[in-house]
Each structure stands twice: as C-alpha cells, then as structure tokens.
Amino acid sequence: METWRVVATVLLAAAGLPLVLVLMAKARDRTDRSATVAITGAVAFVVLLLLGVVMLTLLPGALTWVIVAVVAAALGVMMLAS
C-alpha cells in the first residue's frame, strides 16, 4: 500500500469525523428527535468508512485528493455556517 493512500485516508478521517458530528448536530437542530440524529450519524459514518476503504484500495490519486479536499472544504463551510 502506497504511503500517499494512507496519508490521504488519515486526512479524510481527520476531516470526516468532525463532519459527522456537525451533521448530527444539524439533524438535532432541525428535527429535535434522537432517532433522526442516530440515523444521520450512522449513515454519515458508514459512508465515510466505505469512502476510506475505496480510497485505500481502488481510486486513482487525483480523485482521492479531490475527495479529501471536498470533505475538508465541506467541513470548513459547515463550521463557519453554524
């Protein structure tokens, strides 16, 4: 496994886990139901996990780094908007 794949996946996790928490907080603010918050968190975490596995194994380099940049940008925008 190439080092750049591991670095990209670690960066994805570093930006993705806080993004999951932000999504859960937004779901709580909008619906005020714990079931919706739990489902939102589970879906976001599973998507993040699957994306990390695919990045480690299949995706080409350019696409991998674009995904990392998009997730980091989404986290930045959501943190500034809240």
Domain count of the fold of the chain: 1
Number of other CB atoms surrounding residue 76 within 10 Å: 12
pLDDT tens by residue, 20-66: 999 999 999 999 999 999 999 999 999 999 999 999 999 999 999 99
Element (H, E) at 68: helix 61-81
Domain span including residue 72 = 3-81
Please tell me the distance from the alpha carbon of residue 2 to that of residue 35, in angstroms, as a whole number. Answer: 40
Tell me how long the chain is. Answer: 82
Number of other CB atoms surrounding residue 19 within 10 Å: 20
Give the pLDDT confidence score for residue 59 in this predicted structure.
93
Q: How confident is residue 82, by pLDDT bands cut at 50, 70 and 90?
A: confident
